[in-house]
Chains A and B, each alone.
Chain A
Amino acid sequence: MTIKIVINSVQRTFDVQPDEVLLDVLRREGYLEVKGSCHAGDCGACTILLDGRPVASCLTLAAKADGHSLTTVRGIGDQAHPNVIQDAFVKNGAVQCGYCIPGAIVSAKALLDENINPTEDEIRLAMDSNYCRCTGYEQQLEAVLSAAEQLREDGTGKVSKK
């Protein structure tokens, strides 16, 4: 079947199988920033935004996204123009192996899109489904707090690297 999806603001059309999940379709189509890990919805590594809401792409049927809009971590920012959240993750030492990070940043983006003044508990709750085995989470929490502070000062969320 053919599906039409807007991915990171670009209209795309894909042929997919009815039982294919978004994670597999996205990676096949070159969106390799979406990382797979448990393939069971348990770990959050593959989180993307579907119409602005975080979903596990390993559990979401591609067909279900037909006519909808997706955002991956690369849609949030790239190396030349990182988003304030991405920048804060780097500057707060919140990244170790990095494998969980695209999913964690996507969840943080969904939170900050709705609430630029979250409490620590609200951040932990919003990102609770994003497992990380390296960092112990504290520096990621500080990164999101720092990003939120910057967003409150300058609502663009954009960072120019140097």
Chain B
Amino acid sequence: MSIEKKGFRHLREGSYPLTRVVGTSVSKVDGYALVTGAPMYADDIAARDFPQRLHGKILTSPIAHGIITAIDTSAAEALPGVHLVLTWKNTPRTFFTTAGQGWPEPSPYDNQMFTERVRFVGDRVAAVFADSSEVADEAVKLIKVTFKEEPAVLSAEDAIRAGAPVVHPESSKGAYDAAHNIAAHVDVNIGDVDKALAESEVSVSETFETHYVQHTPMETHTAFAYMDDMGKLVIVSSTQVPWHSRRIVSRVLGIPMSRLRVIKPRIGGGYGCKQEILIDDLVAYGVIKTGLPCEVELTRREEFVSSRTRHPMKVDMSIGSDAQGNFKALKMHVLSNTGAYGSHSLTVMSNTGSKTLPLYNKARDVRFFGDAVYTNLPVAGAYRGYGATQGYAALETTIDDLAAKLNMDPIELRKKNMIRVGEGSPIFEALGEGREGVAQTIKSSSLPELLDLGAEAIGWKEKRGKRVRVGHKVRGVGMSMHMQGSGIPLIDMASASIKLNEDGTYFLTMGATDIGTGSDTILSQMAAEVLGVTADKISALSSDTDLTPFDVGAYASSTTFVSGGAVIKAAKAVRNQIFAVAAEIFGEELDASLVSAEPKVEHDDSERDPILSFYYMEDGNVVSVRSGKKVSVSEVAYRAFYEVNQHQIAATQSFVSPHSPPPFAAHFVEIELDELTGKIKILKYVAAVDCGVSVNPDLVRGQILGALANGIGFALTEEYHFGSHGNMTNSSLFDYKILSRRDMPPTEVIVVDSYEPTGPLGVKSVAEININGPVPAIGNAIFDATGIRLHKSPYTPEKVLAALHGKSI
């Protein structure tokens, strides 16, 4: 099977089991609701169901660092319409992390609901709940705060200088060395990298610096809470992590989980920033104190200034090789700026090495080490790519420099050193997410094909090194290569339940958190595949801590692989129960141990699911292999529910995997650089991607294109500008430039499926990987066009011009 149309090719590598629903671009289950604007986002539901709710507004710090010496809320409290003013004086003082991650939490407990010590411009000082947003805004202005300003740390380099001001002089449990502003530290050493570098025939060392950017979801962080009629506190939140939200809010506010429910409605985009508990605690506490429904919706400015960003990093990269280009040593050092709080500081930095260095597994001596440091700047957190993006910026540009030094084609150099099927890397085992990792062997990869097809699509051979010139514009081509993961091995767990309805349709509930990715759709497809029905026979409900089973949430490119595994297991368990009833109807023997056996996710050609030797599903029927008899699943359901040996046909299953198979990508770009203005125009961008089996090719393509648009913005236009005291000066979508339609370059997406045997139905992941390409690929194209290497993102016209004129930037 293959799809070919303008801008999109979908091919398959190898042969694997035939599927009917998986591999087809069925429409999104929420598609028609979304295109008609159904009221399904948090603020829509709040407005519809709780028109009389209170509206919360937050007072944030105007200074980068200091102590609140006095805070007077009396005027705000006296304003008619104000119900509640919260500060550090009247809220729980529990230290916690806002990072919505697994347990035990790998990020330091350095945050409180409200703080006496403000640590960045945008830090939370107070909040007001009032009858309207306007009154709340007015009340916020009436709060009088006196600050004693202290010296601020405004860069990562300054944070680790001797005598630097300390960002967290108080508690910051879990931070590596708060007294020296070090939130997290990693050092993984395999062999003797310095010796290997010294002995290498050729070596290159470069430093690459990435910058502050924000996810800019179209829906800002929005949450509301209310007390239901039974006295349970319900939070409806635009979250990627409903279970982590419940766990954190429960701990911070001291509410038992039995009295707390978190519901995820439709989400207007996340990309990582909603893997963070930023307002759920506030709306919940507002309800506790007032008894009234409370809502907080961050403004666009707050989304930029006070929510979360991508960790800016300075990455030192050294590669040693022999004269033929065989890698001997890889050394990566990271200085990561986590901002005022250590959210995801350890794990993002870990990924900078763990999701990049194994791609080049031929090097024997490898070291990855670094520090994530506190500064008095906006807080970093999870952002699509999760540290790998920053790592690849350095790794993939340095490899290009090495290729130039070796006078080798960059693609050939990569082919010589890249990880292949059947191979592992010591990094997999040595470095996980903030702790030791899990050994991995690559079982699927179409990376060699991706490199060839991508090179052909961009015209690599004809264009590379040609520097075609049109007046004052010069062209160049560049490429980069990437891997990511599919969930966090042995940590990420997902679960799903499936119930059969009498008419042969099914109800699928799962913790998997659809934040716009389409996971409700593709997981329905996966269930339908096993159950032998079309996807519209599955009704999906996801992410309600009371009504659906557990899932860690939407992050780490885990949903298709990990949550998909849970769905496949639940579907197989339900299918087996259906087979048992069908056997009764047919009067045939079926070994009960086959029905109750733990369903398998992994695919093994030599070991077919034994129950399929007796029965199989086809178009809503059970067919007996032995007798050829057929019965509809609906008839099975009626019998089981109402007639004989009555019982419910339903199953709950969970999945956790020791595997996190990497998806692969090869990116190619052709640019035209204007030497008069420094402006870079992308003539064509090619992304060749192996995400395992594409469950829904249209949605796969959408994930790739969306990541490219975001990644190209990161490479060229998106950037925080700061004033002299760490204040962001461009906190609007007017001044912070994300790609619009006319900015989007012509693209060609080439998907070459491989079959991943450890995953459900051969899948891997696709969500994050493609944001990693644009910075290094475009940087390498600039190098091809000009011979100039830019070491800082983004590649703005100012930087390009300065470099062309030989100025340092």
Contacts and interface: CB of A to CB of B under 8 A. Distances in A.
B33 to A, nearest CB: 6
Nearest to A94: B702
A118 B365 CA distance: 58
A33 B37 contact: yes
Given A37-B300, A89-B35, A101-B34, A138 B48 contact: no
B148 to A, nearest CB: 34
Contacts of B219: 35, 37, 97, 99
Interface stretch (B38-46, B226-234, B242-250, B495-503): B38-46
Contacts of A136: 702, 704-709, 744, 747
A37 B218 contact: yes
Nearest to A34: B37
Given A40-B734, A124-B741, A131-B733, A95 B517 contact: no
B744 A138 contact: yes
A18 interface: no
Most buried by B among A33, A96, A124, A135: A96
A3 to B, nearest CB: 19
Interface stretch (B123-131, B151-159, B264-272, B483-491): B264-272
Contact of A95 (B28, B48, B747): B28
B534 interface: no
A117 interface: no
A34 B39 CA distance: 9
A134 B707 CA distance: 8
Interface string A2-41: 0000000000000000000000000110101111111110
Nearest to A99: B268
A96 B35 contact: no
B47 interface: yes
Contacts of B516: 96-99, 134
B279 interface: no
B515 interface: yes
Interface in B752-792: none
Given A43-B218, A45-B218, A133-B271, A98 B266 contact: yes
Interface string A116-127: 000000011101
B300 A38 contact: yes
Given A39-B300, A79-B32, A137-B744, A33 B702 contact: no
Nearest to B708: A136
A95 B696 CA distance: 13
Contact of B7 (A37, A128, A138): A138
A159 to B, nearest CB: 10
Main secondary structure of the interface of B (DSSP, over half): loop
B38 A79 contact: yes
A130 interface: yes
B35 A40 contact: no
Contacts of A105: 35
Nearest to A138: B705
Contacts of B734: 40, 42
B515 to A, nearest CB: 7
Most buried by B among A30, A36, A86, A95: A95
Contacts of A134: 269, 516, 702, 706
A133 B35 contact: no
Contacts of A82: 32, 35-36
Interface residues of B, number: 58
A96 B518 CA distance: 7
B34 A95 contact: yes
A128 B706 CA distance: 16
Contacts of A132: 218
Contacts of A102: 35-37
B40 to A, nearest CB: 8
B25 A97 contact: no
Interface string A126-162: 0111111111111111000000000000000000010
Interface residues of A, number: 58
B717 interface: no
Contacts, number: 179
A33 B43 CA distance: 11
A28 B134 CA distance: 14
Nearest to A124: B741
Contacts of B216: 133
Given A99-B41, A131-B218, A138-B705, A73 B35 contact: yes
A92 interface: yes
Contact of A130 (B28, B38, B705, B741): B741
Given A72-B37, A133-B706, A91 B32 contact: no
B31 interface: yes
Contacts of B267: 97
Interface in B502-520: 515-518
Nearest to B697: A93
Interface string B5-22: 001000000000000000
A100 B701 CA distance: 19
B361 interface: no
A42 B744 CA distance: 17
A125 B705 contact: no
Given A91-B27, A136-B709, A32 B48 contact: yes
B702 A99 contact: no
Contacts of A92: 698
Nearest to A141: B741
Nearest to B270: A97
B741 A128 contact: yes
A109 to B, nearest CB: 12
Given A72-B37, A133-B218, A136-B702, A93 B300 contact: no
A35 B299 contact: no
A78 interface: yes
Contacts of A53: none
Nearest to B700: A93
B472 interface: no
Contacts of A78: 36
A77 interface: yes
B699 interface: yes
Contacts of B271: 133
Contacts of A140: 741
Contacts of A42: 300, 732-734
Given A32-B44, A86-B35, 18 more contacts: A34-B37, A35-B268, A37-B218, A38-B732, A42-B732, A42-B734, A90-B32, A93-B699, A95-B35, A96-B699, A97-B267, A99-B219, A99-B268, A99-B269, A124-B741, A133-B706, A134-B702, A136-B705
Complex A-B, nearest 3 residue pairs according to Cβ-Cβ distance, in ascending order: A33-B37, A97-B516, A93-B698
22 contacts: A27-B47, A35-B37, A35-B41, A37-B218, A37-B268, A39-B299, A42-B732, A73-B35, A77-B35, A90-B27, A90-B31, A96-B517, A97-B515, A98-B516, A101-B35, A101-B37, A124-B742, A129-B740, A133-B271, A136-B704, A136-B705, A138-B744
Interface of A: 27-28, 30, 32-40, 42-43, 45, 72-74, 77-79, 82, 86-87, 89-102, 105, 123-125, 127-141, 161
